[in-house]
Structure formats: structure tokens, C-alpha cells
């Protein structure tokens, strides 16, 4: 085990202390393979795992708060939106389930255990919400598409298909919508981030990645991407490379940040909720 604070990394203009195994639940709470992570507006860390309960919640100081998500069968991606709702992609159940920050179920997208070819949803991987409330789903392991739903949950449109050409996907593994409404998709096996309009028109392709896993944008609009080099890569909003470091041992499956500037990584091997504590 790497001692806390034993490693420092620099990413862009910021330095971090890497704190592996930052938090863990008390005895009696089941643990499983980590998947992704999100942080709510109170600074609580929602750690998604492939177990029941699926979501372990930790206070900003690392103390265990509560757990939820027993209804999730195959939790893969997690996201917190501006309304402080928590969205989880229940991959092999073919659904997106939305929760309150307190763990109460709010609504679902997709038919449970009802996969659809070339229509929502077929093994979705991740979800993100735009400023106008529209919901974008990376439908990664079946359809190789991105779907857009209205703020009311009504299906609106899809784009993408399996392939290696620009605008196509192998595994759209993560999705994020920036403040300007651009949709960023981690196209994992193609080793790139693809940028689209909200209507699915291709804008740009960012390369220089090895199997990108997750995307998180900070309050400056800077884009953080984890990959399997393993590295954490920092891009500008326009795709300019700003920095790169190696905070995870074998590549983080998920990344999210808090209001204080700390970053959190969901590492699968070895299983760890890792905090990158921002240094002055």
C-alpha cells in the first residue's frame, strides 16, 4: 500500500498529493469493484461500486455517511447535475436511474432489461446533463451511440454507429456537456475524445489518449480525462493539451472533482477511492 501523501503530481498549473485508499465503509457494509465517482454540492463523495449497495457516500472528511442503490444491477457510470441529482447508468439492465443527493429514486430512462438495437438503451455506460436540462447518454457496449433526452425524459434523437471513422464509436465510454453546450464523448477503443454539437454534428477530435475512460470538467472549463496509459490528461476547452500525470496505478475508471479543487479517482486495480488533494 502506498502511504498517504507519499506521491505528489502536477497537472497543468496545479499540484496534488495523491491519497490512495482515502475512504472506506465501516464493517458490515459490502464492497465491490469500484466503477465511477461523483461529488454532490455538499461536498459528499458518491462512490459507485459493482455491489449492493451500489453507492457509498462519504463526507468531505472521508467519514462514511450512508449508502443507497440496492435496485441497481450493473452500475457503471455516475454523474451529478446542477440540480444536485445523481444519475447512474445501470449498464446491463439497460437503464438510467436518477436519484436525489440523499439517495431517493426520482425517475428512470429506458425499459428495464429491455435492450433495443439502435434505439435507447442497449448497455449504456455513462450520462451527463446540459445546462438546459437535456440528458445525454453514452450507449457504449451495445449501440455505440449517443442518445439525447429532453429535460422531461422524452427521447429526442441519437447519433453515431460502430466504427473507426470520425463521428463513429467503438465504445463511447463516457460523456460530458460543457458550459457552451458541446458534447464530449470518450471513444475508448479509438483512443480519442470526440466533440459534437447537441444535435450530434461532429466538431473536433482530440487524440493522444490510450483508451480514455472518463471525463470531468472543472469550474474553469478545463477537461480532465483518465486513460489506461495510465494517466490523467488535462485539455483546454478547445482540446489543447495542458498537462499529464500518473496518479493511478493502473488507470482510473472514473474521475470527479469537488468545489475545493480536489479530485477523486475510482480505481479498479487495486480497488481504491483515491483523493488527489489540491496543494497550495
What residues form DSSP beta bridges with 98? 87, 107
Q: For strand 33-39 and strand 14-19, is the pairing parallel, antiparallel, or unpaired?
A: unpaired
Give the pLDDT score at 242. Answer: 98
Give the pLDDT score at 2. Answer: 45
Can you tell me the distance from the alpha carbon of 35 to that of 211, in angstroms, rounded to the nearest whole number?
A: 16
Give the pLDDT score at 200. Answer: 98
Residue pair 22/5 in contact by the 8 Å Cβ criterion: no
> 175 Cβ partners below 8 Å, 6+ apart?
126, 127, 128, 136, 137, 138, 146, 183, 184, 185, 186, 215
- Residue 208, pLDDT > 90, answer yes
pTM over 0.95: yes
- Residue 206, pLDDT > 50, answer yes
Give the pLDDT mean for 49-55: 97
pLDDT digits (tens, 9 = 90+) for 122-167: 999 999 999 999 999 999 999 999 999 999 999 999 999 999 999 9
Report the largest interatomic distance among the alpha carbons of the chain, rounded to a whole angstrom: 50
Give the pLDDT score at 76. Answer: 98
Strand order in the sheet with 183-187: 172-177, 183-187, 192-196, 202-206
Question: If pLDDT is split at 50, 70 and 90, which confidence band does 6 have?
Answer: confident
pLDDT digits (tens, 9 = 90+) for 77-123: 999 999 999 999 999 999 999 999 999 999 999 999 999 998 899 99
User: Domains of the chain by range and CATH?
Assistant: 19-278 (2.120.10.30)
Can you tell me the distance from the alpha carbon of 75 to that of 92, in angstroms, rounded to the nearest whole number?
A: 8
Rounded to the nearest integer, the mean pLDDT of the chain is 96
Give the pLDDT score at 5. Answer: 52
Give the pLDDT score at 3. Answer: 52
pLDDT digits (tens, 9 = 90+) for 182-205: 999 999 999 999 999 999 999 999
pLDDT digits (tens, 9 = 90+) for 59-78: 999 999 999 999 999 999 99
Amino acid at each position: 500500500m502506498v502511504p498517504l501523501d507519499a506521491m505528489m503530481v502536477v497537472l497543468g498549473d496545479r499540484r496534488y498529493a495523491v491519497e490512495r485508499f482515502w475512504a472506506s465503509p465501516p464493517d458490515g457494509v459490502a464492497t465491490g469493484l469500484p466503477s465511477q465517482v461523483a461529488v454532490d454540492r455538499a461536498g459528499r463523495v458518491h462512490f459507485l461500486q459493482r455491489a449492493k449497495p451500489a453507492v457509498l457516500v462519504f463526507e468531505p472528511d472521508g467519514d462514511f455517511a450512508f449508502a443507497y442503490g440496492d435496485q441497481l444491477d450493473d452500475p457503471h457510470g455516475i454523474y451529478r447535475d446542477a440540480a444536485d441529482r445523481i444519475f447512474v447508468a445501470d449498464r446491463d439492465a439497460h437503464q438510467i436511474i436518477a436519484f436525489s443527493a440523499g439517495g431517493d429514486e426520482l425517475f428512470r430512462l429506458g425499459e428495464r432489461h429491455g435492450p433495443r438495437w439502435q434505439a435507447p438503451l442497449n448497455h449504456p455506460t455513462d450520462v451527463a446533463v446540459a445546462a438546459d436540462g437535456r440528458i445525454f447518454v453514452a450507449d457504449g457496449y451495445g449501440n455505440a451511440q449517443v442518445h439525447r433526452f429532453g429535460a422531461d425524459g422524452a427521447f429526442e434523437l441519437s447519433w453515431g454507429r460502430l466504427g473507426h471513422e470520425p463521428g463513429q464509436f467503438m465504445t463511447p465510454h463516457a460523456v460530458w456537456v460543457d458550459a457552451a453546450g458541446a458534447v464530449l464523448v470518450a471513444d475508448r477503443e479509438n483512443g480519442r475524445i470526440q466533440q459534437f454539437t447537441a444535435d450530434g454534428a461532429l466538431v473536433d477530435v482530440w487524440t493522444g489518449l490510450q483508451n480514455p475512460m472518463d471525463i470531468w470538467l472543472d469550474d474553469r472549463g478545463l477537461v480532465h480525462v483518465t486513460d489506461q496509459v495510465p494517466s490523467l490528461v488535462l485539455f483546454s476547452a478547445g482540446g489543447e493539451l495542458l498537462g499529464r500525470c500518473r496518479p493511478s496505478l493502473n488507470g482510473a475508471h472514473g474521475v470527479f472533482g469537488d468545489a475545493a479543487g480536489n479530485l477523486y479517482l475510482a480505481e479498479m486495480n487495486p480497488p481504491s477511492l483515491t483523493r488527489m488533494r489540491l496543494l497550495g
